[in-house]
Amino acid sequence: MIQELDEQLDRYWGWLRDRTGLQDMGDWIEITTPYLDRHNDCIQIYVKRQNSGLLLTDDGYTYDDLVLSGCSLDSPKRQSILKTMLNGFGVTLEGNALQVSASTANFPLSKHNLVQAMLAVNDLFFLASPSVTSLFLEDVTAWLDLCAVRYAPNVKFSGKSGFDHRFDFVIPKSPSEPERIVRTVNKPTRETAQNLVFSWIDVGESREPGTQAFAILNDAEQSIGGGVVDAMRSYGLSPVPWSDRDEVRERLAA
């Protein structure tokens, strides 16, 4: 199993390198990544030298795109959500730009964190829908509380790659169940599935033997493609559509 996962990681690194592009823009270098935003456009970041290190930024794209798409982030609640989300990745908001400072030594980790923060903030677009009255994460949290599930929220684990990966909940081991880690997925797509699969592959080996990973998928606003569920299952994840959440109630509460 370890050898198989090593091979999968090697394939991932190759895919990431082959689909990453660089363009010299004078003082800045534009990096085009293979990660897609909700418009199916490749996410781009910009890097320049700053003092003895490097500055990485999205140049305001993520924040401005949300606002232009009708998702205001002015309310105290949404600003609090945004700040908490960015803090989890070590990213700051300067004006409308997401940015992080890096050294040449930790540049890969800083780049990874900025891209992951952009993907997470991009997902806030779904707050713009008038039919959404609360964050999906809040709904899941309320349900776990109702089910008397013992959990620690908003946890980060270091993976084999050295990158940190954030999960929404970790449920400690019990006499009848192993450790369980949980990620909520507000918009289940092929891209979000790939991102979660990589996080689990990278983190899985560092957790306790038998640790289980659950992905709670929001199917309230859209149906979930079979490819998303199959991809997660093939790598040992347990995908749980929100409409089927009671099927795992006992496994999580034990």
Q: List, for residues 82-126, the tens digit of each pLDDT value.
A: 888 899 899 999 999 999 999 988 899 999 999 999 998 887 776
Is beta strand 152-158 parallel, antiparallel or unpaired with respect to 97-102? unpaired
Is residue 165 a contact partner of residue 159, using CB atoms and an 8 Å limit? yes
pLDDT for res 115: 93
Distance of CA 118 to the CA centre of its chain: 9
Instruction: State residue 130's pLDDT score.
Output: 46
Long-range own/partner contacts, residues 176-180 (CB < 8 A, 24 or more apart): 176/254, 177/212, 177/251, 177/254, 178/208, 178/209, 178/210, 178/211, 178/212, 179/207, 179/208, 179/210, 179/211, 179/212, 180/211, 180/212, 180/213, 180/214, 180/251, 180/252
- CB-based contact 93:58 (threshold 8 Å): no
CA angle 91, 26, 117 (to 5 degrees): 15
Residue 6 scores a pLDDT above 80: no
Which residue's entry shows tokens 């990453």? 20
Q: Model confidence at 127, in pLDDT bands (50, 70, 90)? A: low
pLDDT digits (tens, 9 = 90+) for 143-184: 999 999 999 998 988 888 888 899 999 999 999 999 999 999
The span from the CA of 40 to the CA of 37, in Å, is 5
Query: Quick one: CA dihedral 63, 65, 68, 70, positive or negative?
Result: negative
* Segment 233-243 mean pLDDT: 92
The answer to whether residue 15 scores a pLDDT higher than 50 is yes
3-state secondary structure of 41: coil
- pLDDT, residue 1, reads 67
Strands 212-217 and 180-185: parallel
Least confident of 36-50, 62-76, 110-124: 62-76
Phi, psi of 50 (to 5 degrees): -140, 115
Does pTM top 0.75 for this prediction?
Answer: no
Express as a percent the part of the chain with pLDDT over 90: 47
Residue 170, CB half-sphere, CA atoms under 13 Å: how many? Answer: 16
* Res 129: pLDDT: 53
Closest-CA residue to 69 (of 115, 119, 131, 127): 127
pLDDT of 136: 81
